[in-house]
């Protein structure tokens, strides 16, 4: 009897202690939205994910459509100044905002209507000048033109020997005088200034068996 009574007393004591313990306060579980704050709008999320890419593309577009120009020389018409299959980097901005007069000796790109493509040549004759070809040499208004950039001098030939450059136009030749189709042979020898696209600054040649390899300043 004493054992049963003792067990009942112990059970009552345990129940009393449980009743005296404070009830646990349940905290509401945090939701994912509460943890990260308000969600970004679709537009802001797209800008967050792709904004840097868009800015980079915009900079590249402005750089190569307004400031600089890339050109490719597929032939040997400018050898050895510019090897065949060279990449050129040029200055475009002045020719985007106006039609500036280039300097004699500049290497320029321009749209040639007769050949229906962009060409790369050197400026020889300026508006109002007379270009003459005699004994393999070039003369400007009667004075012999010094052409230190040519790989070989005294080999300039042309069926027509005198060219009167009209105003608003220029006369161009390739440095490879025996392998360039230029003002000497076009039906219309004179290129309008408004067809100029850029002045070349650098030539990059990395192909095998080139006259030179690397990066050269050609301005």
Among candidate residues 4, 12, 98, 121, the one labeled active-site is 121
- Rounded Cα distance between 93 and 128, Å, is 25
Whose structure tokens read 């161009």?
172
> Is 12 among the catalytic positions?
no
- Rounded Cα distance between 91 and 11, Å, is 97
Among candidate residues 3, 7, 77, 180, the one labeled active-site is 77
* Contacting residues for 64 by C-beta, under 8 A, at least 6 apart: 70
Of the candidates 125, 200, 107, 199, which has an alpha carbon nearest to the alpha carbon of residue 162? 125
Q: Around 108, how many Cα atoms within 13 Å sit in the side-chain half-sphere?
A: 29
Neighbours of 198 (CB within 10 A): 25
Signed CA dihedral, 7, 9, 13, 19: sign only: positive
With beta carbons less than 8 A apart as the criterion, state whether 163 and 130 touch.
yes
> Is 134 among the catalytic positions?
no
Which of the residues are catalytic?
A: 77, 121
């Amino acid at each position: 009897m004493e054992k049963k009574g003792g067990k009942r007393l112990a059970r009552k004591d345990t129940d009393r202690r449980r009743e005296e313990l404070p009830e646990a306060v349940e905290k509401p579980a945090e939701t994912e939205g509460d943890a990260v704050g308000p969600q970004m709008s679709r537009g802001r999320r797209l800008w967050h994910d792709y904004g840097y890419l868009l800015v980079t593309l915009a900079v590249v577009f402005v750089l190569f459509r307004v400031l600089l120009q890339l050109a490719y020389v597929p032939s040997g018409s400018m050898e050895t100044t510019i090897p065949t299959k060279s990449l050129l980097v040029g200055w475009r901005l002045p020719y985007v905002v106006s039609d500036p007069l280039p300097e004699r000796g500049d290497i320029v790109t321009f749209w040639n209507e007769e050949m229906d493509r962009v060409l790369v040549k050197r400026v020889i004759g300026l508006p109002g000048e007379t270009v003459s070809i005699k004994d393999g040499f070039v003369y400007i208004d009667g004075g012999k033109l010094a052409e230190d950039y040519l790989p070989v001098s005294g080999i300039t030939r042309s069926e027509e020997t005198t060219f009167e450059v009209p105003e608003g136009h220029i006369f161009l030749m390739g440095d490879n005088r025996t392998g360039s189709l230029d003002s000497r042979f076009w039906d219309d020898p004179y290129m309008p200034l408004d067809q100029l696209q850029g002045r070349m600054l650098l030539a990059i040649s990395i192909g095998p068996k080139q006259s030179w390899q690397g990066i050269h300043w050609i301005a």
